[in-house]
Chain A
């Protein structure tokens, strides 16, 4: 079946550095992918919509200059957390759907810890 893969699954970075998280659709093309953030014991919150070949659409309150999204191909979207701070520590997870269908597939998620 369709699979969405996310990498890395866990990352620790120093405060002030940047970290990139990749989201790949392994056997389907996705013109749109979504990025969510989940703080411990909280719900998943939509951060942004990643659009292939165009700018991402960010939800209210999400800083586009801090969370850079690139969707350069139909199978890959990347989220870069720039100038990371401890409060950015969270579980980041992406989702994608095949263009021909509307089943939602989630990546495995990425735990980011900023120290």
Chain B
């Protein structure tokens, strides 16, 4: 099955700085890579995603890059704000429908004002 590794597990940055979270996956058949933000006891909230036929995607302050050869993908948040503080999860899907997810271990991001 798929295995997703996520680093770092905790990340502390100063407000306004950039934050980068990295994930690697094991199954080359994986075709969909979403990133989620989760508050305690709540459902994961999709913040950005990328499919295997794309190398990079950007949405305002958030961007994701995918390197299929190396089997890793990264989340980039620029101009961080205190409200970006949360737990972030990467995930990979390798079934045909692209909806069966294997999650990374999570990163607790703390943005200090």
**A interface list, Cβ under 8 A from B:** 32, 34, 36, 42-46, 49, 59-60, 91, 93, 95, 97, 102, 104, 106-109, 111
Contact = CB atoms under 8 A, between A and B. Distances in A.
Contacts of B44: 44, 93, 106
Given A43-B89, A43-B105, A44-B103, A109 B98 contact: no
Nearest to B51: A102
Contacts of B35: none
Given A102-B32, A107-B43, A44 B99 contact: no
Contacts, number: 49
7 contacts: A34-B99, A34-B101, A44-B44, A45-B103, A102-B98, A106-B44, A107-B43
Contact of B97 (A44, A102, A107, A111): A102
A95 B99 contact: yes
Nearest to B32: A102
Contact of A34 (B41, B100, B105, B106): B100
A93 B97 CA distance: 19
Given A42-B106, A106-B43, A107-B43, 11 more contacts: A32-B99, A34-B99, A43-B89, A44-B101, A44-B103, A49-B100, A93-B44, A95-B101, A102-B32, A104-B99, A109-B42
Contacts of B97: 32, 97, 102
A49 to B, nearest CB: 6
A46 B89 CA distance: 14
A104 B106 contact: no
B102 interface: yes
Contacts of A109: 41-43
A104 B46 contact: yes
Contacts of B105: 42-43
Interface in B69-84: none
A43 B101 CA distance: 12
Contacts of A45: 103
A108 B34 contact: no
Contacts of B42: 108-109
Contacts of A44: 44, 89, 101, 103
